[in-house]
Amino acid sequence: MNIHHTSTEILETRSDLAVRLARSTEEIAIAQALRFRVFYEELNAVAEGISANLDADRFDSFCDHLIVVRQTEMVSDERFRVDDGEIVGTYRLLRQCVAAANGGFYTQREFDLRPLLEARSELNFLELGRSCVLKDYRTKPVVELLWQGIWNYVRLHRLDVMMGCASLEGADPKAHGPSLDFLARNRATPLEWRVRALPERYVEMKSEGAAADPKTALKALPPLIKGYLRLGCFIGDGAVVDTQFNTTDVLVILPVSNINPRYFLHFGHP
């Protein structure tokens, strides 16, 4: 397994929390164990073909793995112990140049990115995936540290666009009808950013008839998607059902140029 440990410049600390890149195959395995804990034990993903209680796939070997570490000697779960404490959150980062050398992005299993990548070939894309925080640590400081780590990484590598699948819990799109309808009607990608779900996996997001009540639809969205919306993201055309992870996925596209400048006061300018 290759470790693309690029720089310590993304390191940030806050109280007893720190965000950094995983430094070894051992730390990546611990992040995979944390993902298994959340996706399979808590959110009921289907564990067919999964061994050793790890959420792992071929992409892990060439991605960078962002981790939030609670710096302590007294860890709450030995499965997540690292030298400087315990991992409580993680995000998987895949730069376009790395993806191109390794068969493409994970997202391309659900969405047809090729037209967008060809149309915006002057831009550098970053795929965000496997967002995961232990239940007891789904707090503002941990989430903000993850975002700070991502943003430091974006600045370090001069990346232009963040994108990736974001999930709504449950594999029944009808249960998310108002939310999907709201996203399709209010945050659809402009023509120059257009991306569609693969034809064989495409699920229509717009409901028949009148539009969903915006307040109700927005309230039902997961916090992660709400965060992307606040930053100024677009949502691709069509949802996808992921039966393995028991989710309904939408594609988030977030050009750095779209981010509200007021966020830079907190996270730093490009």
pLDDT tens-digit profile of 225-269? 998 999 999 999 999 999 999 999 999 999 999 987 777 666 666
DSSP state of 42: I
Cβ–Cβ under 8 Å, residues 16 and 68: no
pLDDT of residue 127: 98
Q: Where are the alpha helices (DSSP H) in the chain?
A: 25-36, 96-100, 114-119, 140-157, 177-186, 214-219, 223-231, 264-267
Distance CA 128, CA 94 (A): 7
Give residues with Cβ within 8 angstroms of 83, minimum separation 6: none
Q: Count other C-beta atoms under 10 Å from residue 139's C-beta.
A: 13
Average pLDDT estimate for 17-35: 96
List the domains of the chain with CATH numbers. Answer: 8-267 (3.40.630.30)
pLDDT tens-digit profile of 112-166? 999 999 999 999 999 999 999 999 999 888 988 999 999 999 999 999 999 999 9
pLDDT of residue 211: 82
Burial environment of residue 17 by CB neighbours within 10 A (0 to 12, 13 to 18, 19 or more):
buried
Give residues with Cβ within 8 angstroms of 202, minimum separation 6: 196, 238, 240
